[in-house]
Amino acid sequence: MRQAIDLAIENVRSGGGGPFGALVVKEGVVIATGVNTVVRANDPTAHAEISAIRAACRSLGSFQLIGCEIYTSCEPCPMCLGAIYWARVASFYFSSTRSDAAGAGFDDSLIYEQLQFAPEYRSIPGLRLLPKDGLAAFQEWQQAPQRQAY
Amino acid sequence: MRQAIDLAIENVRSGGGGPFGALVVKEGVVIATGVNTVVRANDPTAHAEISAIRAACRSLGSFQLIGCEIYTSCEPCPMCLGAIYWARVASFYFSSTRSDAAGAGFDDSLIYEQLQFAPEYRSIPGLRLLPKDGLAAFQEWQQAPQRQAY
């Protein structure tokens, strides 16, 4: 955890981006690190955890991180928590919380709150169109002989 | 929306990946598209919406998509919804729902449920370590003269 926090601090000092750092650990060994590069990379998804997960997957040649743990300087936002679920890591560890992040001007807490509302009632509303038509994609998937679940 | 669904179907037929497609639209013009490439790219974050958002940001040279809309074949999972918030799009549109996705074997609904629990009670538990130490990163950020909020 100390290492994740140091990455976060160093990322601010070096002008790399926001105050966030993360590590992916497998069997006690750090296999990837990540820092926030949203502004520098023009990529709103370039959070520390997402970057560390992508780097770890590249390193292992796998789309899952089974048996791995993530150490992150701050509680993951919903985007990064979703990525943690999709990567199927075993567990994660954090130091600061979503409230600490809110205190520093970041939207993590707001997004957690918004997720609890139905899509149409959120501050960024999500509306349903052609509600029957999308099922055709899932039917195609169920019938695809070569499909690989993830 | 028809175009997003077609992308999803074509992605399965071509063996590209999961049955999901998305578009980013600005002022009525499609500026980027994305499909699910999780397995092919060994990247658990390569969902259609994430890929479309990253491509749109590259295209605009910006880390935000203010004034843009997203059309996606299926309701965004929490990871993609988080990305939608960070990208600050105006609104989004979807056809299938998280329940439809669950019916086809995808974890979207499960992740929405898990997000409501405190980190330590989730199926992928998140535990807090060195709770005071992470604040140093936010203090560094608050004092950084060159910091750019996002």
Q: Which residue has the higher pLDDT, A121 or B145?
A: A121
DSSP assigned state of B77: P
For chain B, what is the mean pLDDT?
97
Contact assignment for B20 to A137 by CB distance below 8 Å? yes
Sequence-distant (≥ 6) Cβ neighbours of residue A93 within 8 angstroms? A1, A69, A70, A71, A72, B126, B127, B128, B129
The band of B121, judged by pLDDT with boundaries at 50, 70 and 90, is very high
Contact assignment for A149 to B84 by CB distance below 8 Å? no
Report the share of chain B in percent with pLDDT over 90.
Answer: 99
Angle of helix B108-115 relative to helix A78-87, nearest 10 degrees, comes to: 130
Catalytic residue among B10, B27, B49, B113: B49
> Could you tell me if B109 and B75 are in contact, meaning their C-beta atoms sit under 8 angstroms apart?
no
Helix and strand element counts for chain B (H, E)? 7, 5
Q: Is the pLDDT of residue B146 over 90?
A: no
The band of B68, judged by pLDDT with boundaries at 50, 70 and 90, is very high
Whether B140 sits among the annotated catalytic residues: the reply is: no
Q: B51 in contact with A at a CB cutoff of 8 Å?
A: no
The band of B63, judged by pLDDT with boundaries at 50, 70 and 90, is very high
* pLDDT reported for residue A146: 85
Q: Is the pLDDT of residue A125 over 90?
A: yes
Dump pLDDT digits (tens) for B2-38: 999 999 999 999 999 999 999 999 999 999 999 999 9
Smallest CA–CA separation between A101 and chain B, in Å? Answer: 8
Taking CB atoms and an 8 Å cutoff, what residues of chain A touch B71?
Answer: 129
Taking CB atoms and an 8 Å cutoff, what residues of chain B touch A131?
Answer: 95-96
Task: Closest CB to B91: pick one of A21, A124, A137.
Answer: A124
ipTM: 0.97
Contact assignment for A107 to B86 by CB distance below 8 Å? yes
Exposure of A7 by Cβ count < 10 A (0-12 exposed, 13-18 middle, 19+ buried)?
buried
CA-CA-CA-CA torsion sign (A22, A78, A64, B5): negative
The band of A43, judged by pLDDT with boundaries at 50, 70 and 90, is very high
Contact assignment for B135 to A100 by CB distance below 8 Å? yes
Report the share of chain A in percent with pLDDT over 70.
Answer: 100
Taking CB atoms and an 8 Å cutoff, what residues of chain A touch B127?
Answer: 91-94
Dump pLDDT digits (tens) for A126-148: 999 999 999 999 999 999 988 99
Q: What is the mean pLDDT of residues A55-60?
A: 98
Smallest CA–CA separation between A63 and chain B, in Å? Answer: 4
Question: For residue A116, what are the CA distances in angstroms to A78, B100, B113, B116?
Answer: 11, 19, 10, 8
- Report how far residue A133's alpha carbon sits from residue B107's, in angstroms, rounded to the nearest whole number: 21
Contact assignment for A91 to B20 by CB distance below 8 Å? no
